[in-house]
Amino acid sequence: MGNVIGIGAAPKRKEDQRFLTGRGNYVSDIKRPGMTAGVFVRSPHGHAVIRGIDKTAALAAPGVIAVLSGEDVAADGLGSLPCGWGISDAQGVPMKEPPFPMLAQGKARFVGDMVAFVVAETAEQANSAAELLNVDYEVLPSVVGVLEAVRPGAPQLFDDVPNNICCDWELGDKAAVETAFRKAAHVARLSLVNNRLIGNPMEPRAAIAEYEPGTDRHTLWSTSQFPHVVRFLMGALVLNIPQHKLRVVAPDVGGGFGVKQFHYGEEAVITWAARRVMRPVKWVASRSEGYVSDRHGRDHVTEAELALDEHGKFLAFRVKTLANMGGYLSTFGPNIPTNLYGPLLGGVYTTPAIYCNVKVVFTNTVPVDAYRGAGRPEATFVLERIVDVAATEMGIDRVELRRRNMIPKEAYPYQTPVLVQYDSGDPIGCLDGALVAADVKNFGVRKAASARKGKFRGLGYSTYVEACGLAPSRFAGRLGARGGLYESATVRVHPTGQVTVMIGTHNHGQGHETTFAQIVSDKLGVAFENIDIVFGDTDRVQFGMGTYGSRSLVVGGAALSKATDKVIVKGKKIAAHLLEASEMDIQFEAGKFSVAGTDRTKTFEEIAGAAYVPHDYPLEVLEPGLEEQAYYDPVNFTYPGGCHIAEVEVDPETGTVTLVNYTAVDDVGTVINPMIVEGQLHGGIVQGVGQALYENAVYDEGSGQLLSGSLMDYCMPRADHLPMMTVATHSTLCTHTPMGVKGCGEVGTIGSPAAVINAVVDALSHLGVTHVDMPATPNRIWRLLQNASLPVAAE
């Protein structure tokens, strides 16, 4: 009999054994009898009319079973890929929503747009045949940047989307902001770019589909963060497959970061193709194929203005952003730069008036959607950069200016001027904790030491708040969500007292099998090793919205907590009968049901046994069995927040920026497993550091070619880029989630880009540098230093 391992403990992860020994079960590991291989033919042009496709040679190639194109999709009357959010402009005019066909119809709109699908006996044969497919393209000029896309005369992606503008969205009180700006003692202004990113989970996307004619059932194995949502979107809206005839399985998934939380055309094409060829079909993306088909992230161009009074109090904040959507609207696309961006522009500050205008723009690039943080890192970057600009211009210390404007702990719950109400937080506590942890008071000594080596050292601060735990369905519905955002969990107690949990979130690195088992172990007093967590299969799990937006513990954990409470309620009824006591007198503690004030007890196992062998059982009033289910819809978002401090060293000879210290103090609410939380923070921070220093998805204007098309061209953070980070939590409890949790998956990525860039600017401030765009590559910094035309030596 093992031990109860509860909330706050740090057991080693249940999932590790299979991953450490090479026994994980990823989609690309799966083989099915009679399996065929599928290969997508993708547009090599950013923008082109497809005049015709000649399949003759490809069909005649050895091993080829089928060649499918947009015409076949149309002939079968299939739907286009749905967008899960519908936003509107200030007048209530809905966004432009051109269809997103699963295989291109008449026109290709980005390099990588799917034109055809070749199925053959082997992957080699499918690849060879794909090269024989004769697609007659009429190449059109491409437009890839948002500034270029909205200019008069720019190439137009869609006939009915003038100026490529999908939606001209706004939020906040424009008039109040204008009034405040007129009264301001100082206005800080900043233009910046939030660089385009490629998510790069280490496992490339993959899918296998199979059709069973005997039962008319379809099965799709997919590298997905949300199999139930894929079943709904693909079955109900694209392929017209009834939900009970479609099973979607997302087994072990090798990282997601948002990239795998969309319904992709590949999933629909493969499922449709498997039925047509009556054989299982498998597709595994190469990394390079992923680069031109995985949804990208970020890609904003922004102008921001912050109005301050003479004491440095923020009076108003005005932000205008052009946000790149790529060639089509992806599942969450238009929601990211609007609803997950504008409402976070208040940050941890008391800014009374905020106005945000976002033009959501189509371009000839891969569709842009959520990537870890999704909208919130962009908001944090704009705000925390301009606070530094204002501090420099007004001659106020950066920390002091932040402190003067922070929401005091006692002012929570705090209503912002941009929709959201923060339930809890302590930004000043996080700031103070971070100042100590980062040893800021001795920074001058370290800076002088760097200077002696000819290096420029800089310190950068970022505070942030994020809205996560996506999401309160009613609130999201008002913002344009077309679905609910609750979560579900089933707690199945077996006759012997062991427990299996079925939950609708998806584990792809977050440690759910461990954290969720701790919750059940804590609440039911069942040994940790006697609890298994099942996820990722629509045939095994009742329903669920999956994992994204730091929602799994917040929303899924709450559903699990509720279902566990129901098990206890039923257990008490059974115990009352067995112990011949009133239900009101039964207590449940440490895995035992007892009659208050007596030594009469029944163990959890005894109650489970009685529930399944109901010889002595109140069958007249109670059903046998011990299995409970709960759905949970949150009443508000949760608002993790914190303070990050980055310290960098710049080598003026080469322009190389080295991150030398990193400190994060985060408020993530109740911590269930501190080991896992720290791991989430480390990974999140480094993804933000990647954006700040290394990563950049670059397209060629005109041709629409992706120049950073492989891991050789797109720089990912590596072990030798990084120092040991210091992470700590300074938690206030969420007031509306059952366990006080807030979520921690995205906080690192939200806080870090601004902290790093603020540190780089600080390091170069003596040269008059006031802003550096991301990524701060050696090339960019070296050029900046040359243009500063100052002596390169530090002293």
Partner 1 sequence: MQISFTLNGRPTTMDVDPATLVAELLRERLNLTGTHIGCDTSQCGACVVHLDGLPVKSCTLLAPALDGATLVTIEGLQGAPGSNRLHPMQEAFRENHGLQCGFCTPGMVMTAVALARDKPGLTEAEVRHGLEGNICRCTGYQNIVLSVMAGADAMHAAKGE
Residues that bind partner 1 (CB under 8 A): 12-13, 15-24, 26, 28-29, 31, 200-204, 252-257, 286-288, 508-511, 675-676, 678-679, 682-687, 710-712, 716-720, 722, 724-725, 748
Distances (CA, A) of 366 to 325, 339, 424, 758: 8, 21, 38, 30
Cβ distance to partner 1 smaller for residue 609 or 690: 690
Token pair recorded at residue 55: 């399949």
Residue 664 β-bridge partners:
644, 727
Cβ distance to partner 1 smaller for residue 650 or 681: 681
Cβ distance to partner 1 smaller for residue 235 or 254: 254
Tally helices (H) and strands (E) across the chain: 20, 28
> In angstroms, what is the C-alpha Rg of the chain?
28
Token pair recorded at residue 282: 């498998």
CB of residue 604 vs partner 1: minimum separation in angstroms? 27
Encoded amino acid at 264, one letter: Y
Q: Where are the alpha helices (DSSP H) in 591-666?
A: 604-612
DSSP E strand boundaries for 250-367: 281-284, 296-308, 314-326, 353-362
Neighbour count for residue 256 (Cβ, 10 Å): 27
Cβ distance to partner 1 smaller for residue 109 or 282: 282
Residue 366: name the closest of 50, 690, 108 by CA.
Answer: 108
Cβ distance to partner 1 smaller for residue 497 or 748: 748
Cβ distance to partner 1 smaller for residue 416 or 510: 510
Cβ distance to partner 1 smaller for residue 13 or 730: 13
Cβ distance to partner 1 smaller for residue 621 or 719: 719
Cβ distance to partner 1 smaller for residue 637 or 694: 694
CB of residue 721 vs partner 1: minimum separation in angstroms? 8
Asked if residue 44 has a cis previous peptide bond (ω within 30° of 0), the answer is no
Contact indicator for 169, 358 with CB cutoff of 8 Å: yes
Cβ distance to partner 1 smaller for residue 11 or 343: 11
CB of residue 322 vs partner 1: minimum separation in angstroms? 28
Sheet holding 601-603, edge to edge: 586-589, 592-595, 601-603
CB of residue 63 vs partner 1: minimum separation in angstroms? 15
φ, ψ at 545 (rounded to 5°): -105, -5
CB of residue 686 vs partner 1: minimum separation in angstroms? 3
Q: Where are the alpha helices (DSSP H) in 321-466?
A: 376-394, 398-405, 427-437, 443-452
CB of residue 689 vs partner 1: minimum separation in angstroms? 8
Rounded to a whole number of angstroms, the distance between the first and last alpha carbons of the chain is 67
Cβ distance to partner 1 smaller for residue 29 or 700: 29
Cβ distance to partner 1 smaller for residue 200 or 538: 200
Cβ distance to partner 1 smaller for residue 205 or 730: 205
Sheet holding 487-493, edge to edge: 531-534, 499-503, 487-493, 627-632
φ, ψ at 451 (rounded to 5°): -60, -35
Helix (H, G, I), strand (E, B) or coil at 370: coil
Cβ distance to partner 1 smaller for residue 288 or 542: 288
CB of residue 565 vs partner 1: minimum separation in angstroms? 30
φ, ψ at 36 (rounded to 5°): -110, 175
Give dist(CA 392, CA 398) in Å, integer: 8
Residue 114: name the closest of 98, 142, 133 by CA.
Answer: 133
Give dist(CA 207, CA 284) in Å, integer: 7
CB of residue 688 vs partner 1: minimum separation in angstroms? 10
Cβ distance to partner 1 smaller for residue 579 or 715: 715
Helix (H, G, I), strand (E, B) or coil at 154: coil
Give dist(CA 78, CA 272) in Å, integer: 9
CB of residue 626 vs partner 1: minimum separation in angstroms? 30
Query: Which residues, in sequence order, are CB contacts of 109 under 8 Å at separation 6+?
Result: 46, 47, 157, 327, 328, 364
Cβ distance to partner 1 smaller for residue 252 or 305: 252
Where on the phi/psi map is residue 580: left (φ > 0), alpha (ψ -120 to 50), or beta?
A: left
Cβ distance to partner 1 smaller for residue 373 or 684: 684
CB of residue 649 vs partner 1: minimum separation in angstroms? 15
The DSSP secondary-structure symbol of 81 reads P
Contact indicator for 624, 614 with CB cutoff of 8 Å: yes
Residue 611: name the closest of 582, 586, 580, 574 by CA.
Answer: 574
CB of residue 678 vs partner 1: minimum separation in angstroms? 8
Query: Which residues, in sequence order, are CB contacts of 604 under 8 Å at separation 6+?
Result: 493, 497, 524, 525, 526, 571, 591, 592, 593
CB of residue 311 vs partner 1: minimum separation in angstroms? 39
Residue 324: name the closest of 480, 470, 150, 467 by CA.
Answer: 150
CB of residue 371 vs partner 1: minimum separation in angstroms? 11
Contact indicator for 377, 195 with CB cutoff of 8 Å: no
Contact indicator for 169, 230 with CB cutoff of 8 Å: no
Token pair recorded at residue 505: 């979130």
589 exposure class (CB count in 10 Å sphere: 0-12, 13-18, 19+)? exposed
Q: How many CA atoms lie within 13 A of 454 on its CB side?
A: 9
Query: Which residues, in sequence order, are CB contacts of 238 under 8 Å at separation 6+?
Result: 78, 79, 80, 81, 82, 102, 263, 268
Cβ distance to partner 1 smaller for residue 291 or 604: 291
